[in-house]
Amino acid sequence: MKPKAIILRGPGTNCDIETFSSFRHAGAAPELVHINKLVSGEKNLLDYSILALPGGFSYGDDISAGKIFAVKIRKLAGNIKKFIHEGRPVIGICNGFQVLVKTGFLPENKKHKQVSTLYTNECGHFLAKWVKLKVNKKSPCIFTKNLPDEIELPIAHGEGKFIVEDKKIMDEILNENLCSLTYVENPNGSMHDIAGITNKKGNCFGLMPHPERNLFIWQNPDRKTPIKEIQAAGYQIFKNSVDYAK
């Protein structure tokens, strides 16, 4: 049986269809669900095996990126906490990563307080480009297993600068290898070149780059080698979660 993946969306979400398609190609049974359906009780998060918070500009990023969506998510904090505790895969991409940070699910802490932020890019403006990323082979992250040492994914964000002011928390991220992906050339000024982090269990993963936009080799306009395989790095990220959920 295919694991059920819930792709949670709200007003302004614009990468939900690509994320839906990515999970479908990776072997899951995805479903697009508006956040209001979970809040109202019409849908139950615990009926699903995988949770995805896709990219976009939820609620227009009117206050700050992901802030209003995070307020909605907090109404589901109990079920999300149980979802993660049970080991079910959770991925937050770009705006979804910003939501996980603002709800305190990443970086992981017992009180689920916001202990980090994704601030305005150091260049001061929106960035949309392809970037090279180093994969931390020591990370417990289930999403980055079996990836090569270096991958390419596109970014598209205005607030991607990862900041942690508490040295103890940052030390834990680095020492526990919770930093799953780092930029080869830091585009936004993130501390320690961080592009994506996970929890200690490895099943909750947030990243600023978009794996759903590099599902197939031919999606990369800068490829310099002939196409030998169909799937790209993004596909492996989604496939890892589907295989784990099975």
Q: Give whole-number Cα distances, 93 to 55, 56, 155, 210, 211, in Å.
A: 5, 9, 10, 6, 8
Instruction: List the catalytic residue out of 18, 108, 159, 212.
Output: 212
Asked if 99 and 51 count as a contact pair (C-beta separation under 8 A), the reply is: no
- Is position 210 annotated as part of the catalytic site? yes
Cα separation, 120 vs 122, whole angstroms? 6
Instruction: List the catalytic residue out of 18, 25, 179, 210.
Output: 210
Cα separation, 196 vs 55, whole angstroms? 14
Instruction: Report strand pairing: 150-157 vs 127-135.
Output: antiparallel
- Is position 94 annotated as part of the catalytic site? yes
Crossing angle of the two packed helices 77-85 and 67-74, in degrees rounded to 10:
80
Asked if 31 and 78 count as a contact pair (C-beta separation under 8 A), the reply is: no
Instruction: List the catalytic residue out of 15, 94, 179, 204.
Output: 94
**Which residues are CB-contacts of 13 (< 8 A; sequence separation ≥ 6)?**
54, 55, 56, 57, 58, 95
The region that residue 129 occupies, defined by phi over 0 for left and psi between -120 and 50 for alpha, beta otherwise, is beta
> Residue 107: is the preceding peptide bond cis (ω within 30°)?
yes
Asked if 59 and 68 count as a contact pair (C-beta separation under 8 A), the reply is: yes
Structure tokens at 145: 């297993």
- Is position 212 annotated as part of the catalytic site? yes
Cite the active site residues: 94, 210, 212
